[in-house]
Structure 1
Amino acid sequence: MAEDLQILQSADKAAQYQSLLPQIEALIQGETDLTANLANIAAALKEQFKWFWVGFYLVKNGELVLGPFQGPVACTRIGLGKGVCGAAWQQRKTLIVPDVEAFPGHIACSSLSQSEIVVPFFKGDEVVGVLDVDSELLDQFDETDALYLEELVKMIVF
């Protein structure tokens, strides 16, 4: 198991992901505890990119329930179709929101959050959770983030 991350600061975003994803895979490989893996994934992403908030919500009893995260305290439960997380869950696709204030029904867990990306992950055909990332900057996320974060969530095993 490798607990030390090699953080690239000067590389472009794609290179940072290309360096980080194999490290995350090595970190979670062989570990069967979902909570431990999600916690390490959130920590690795926060460490690499210095985003405001990185975490997971898991589908439980018909709602998204807060899971492991890095950042300030967060909303605990989110309904289907509610906010960016609930919308990504309902639509079964990654949502990139350049300005959260312009997103209809945005749930402001923190007024400091300015942009967001939410990536659903699946067990078979069923959405079982979402990776939620918030930034204090407007327009922080793009298709590069979507591509690599979608690859990352495929590593999550239930």
Structure 2
Amino acid sequence: MAHGCTGGNEVEGRPLTDAELIEEARRGDVAAYEELVRRYEELAFRTAYLVCGDADDARDAAQEGFVRAYGALNRFRAGAEPRPWLLRIVANAARNRRRAAGRRAGLALRSAQDRPSDGAAPSPEVAVLAGEQRAELLAAINRLGDDDRRIITLRWFADLSEREMATVL
């Protein structure tokens, strides 16, 4: 059995499984982790996008999730499924980004509302925050709670099985 991932990511003529890639990455094989990232980058992006709702934030959250997962390889339980473990990390990074964005938007809106009115037209930023985007954001938040959003995202967009969802949740 060949060790290392640099020889084409194969063992005995077959591609390495996700679990084997994790094991190789734990041993310091960066190419094995890169292959794992390649396998999951699209799914990680979709998962993060459904949590964040913004493509740029989703790309950043997916990348942050992969970096965090790499740092946590030593905590990955041998025999566990890598996909739900990795997507849980990505989803957590995306939730953190969404919360931070919500705090920033709330602070900007409160700051704009606290300014004394001098009769001038509101700035474009204030108009956007106070206008349609604010109404859409509030409506979306009222329609789905965190638990519902997580469940729908993991089942229908990340295509996790019920068992994998139970692990993530």
Max radius of gyration: which structure? 2
TM-score (norm 1): 0.25
More strand by share: 1
Q: Higher helix share goes to which structure? A: 2
